Amino acid sequence: MIHETLFYLFNKPNISEDDYSNLFELHEFLHPAEKNLLLKILEIPRRYHKIVGFNRAVHSQIYKKDDKSDSPEYENLPQGLYIKAFACGLEKALEPYRKEIINLENKFLQNPQLPLTYILSAIDGYKMLFDDLYSMIEVIITENLCGCLLIGRLQKYLHSGYDTTSNAANIIIKTINTTFFHQLSNWIIYGEIIDTYDEFLSKMKNVLILTFYTLRSWMSKVLLLILQNK
């Protein structure tokens, strides 16, 4: 039973969210207290599985020419480099949980009498993290966020008051910032904005480009005057 529980914590089986009866062969032999404890454990990774589904939907956009997703709830996801960076950040933020499950599996192999209370105490702290991460996804979907707007909307999670969420938000924002700084440095150094999805400061792009070329022209004239006066 412990092994099946750990498997569910890591991978979502093909069952409905409210039906666990086929998940465990010996469920009828469980004490009512154990059954309630087991259901409490199984409740924790629900958001985790939804986050994983979101990531799969985002990454499937990279390899598919059409916009359709394997997950109907994510069919209208915004596309772009920033949403992909967000998904990559989510993957990194989920790593501690996955390592914890692997660690629990190793402990179970060493001690087959591992109690359910031990598993619950090990993963209980991740429930709030999964709720906050899925909250980020809901904000992106409902507000159709893309591009640099993602960075600003995620800032509040840095000051959530919950260290695990703050650390995860920091990881995600750093991943998105990598994409932003790459585009920004390419614009500043070469004067080019490579923006396939029209998401890099899209509303201000024309003004910024005009400002950049005006400033560069002005600086060239100043430099020429300095050289002439030498």
What is the 3-state secondary structure of the chain? Answer: CHHHHHHHHHCCCCCCCCCCCCCCCCHHHCCHHHHHHHHHHHHCCHHHHHHHHHHHHHHHHHHCCCCCCCCHHHCCCCCCHHHHHHHHHHHHHHHHHHHHHHHHHHHHHHCCCCCHHHHHHHHCCHHHHHHHHHHHHHHHHHHCCCCCHHHHHHHHHHHCCCHHHHHHHHHHHHHHHHHHHHHHHHHHHHCCCCCCCCCCCHHHHHHHHHHHHHHHHHHHHHHHHHHHCC
Per-domain residue ranges of the chain = 2-199, 203-230
Note the pTM of the prediction, 2 decimals: 0.79
User: Is the pLDDT assigned to residue 151 strictly greater than 50?
Assistant: yes
User: What pLDDT, in 10s, does the model give residues 116-139?
Assistant: 999 999 999 999 999 999 999 999
User: Is the pLDDT assigned to residue 217 strictly greater than 70?
Assistant: no
User: What pLDDT, in 10s, does the model give residues 159-202?
Assistant: 888 999 999 999 999 999 999 888 888 878 887 877 788 787 65
User: What per-residue confidence (pLDDT) applies to 108?
Assistant: 93
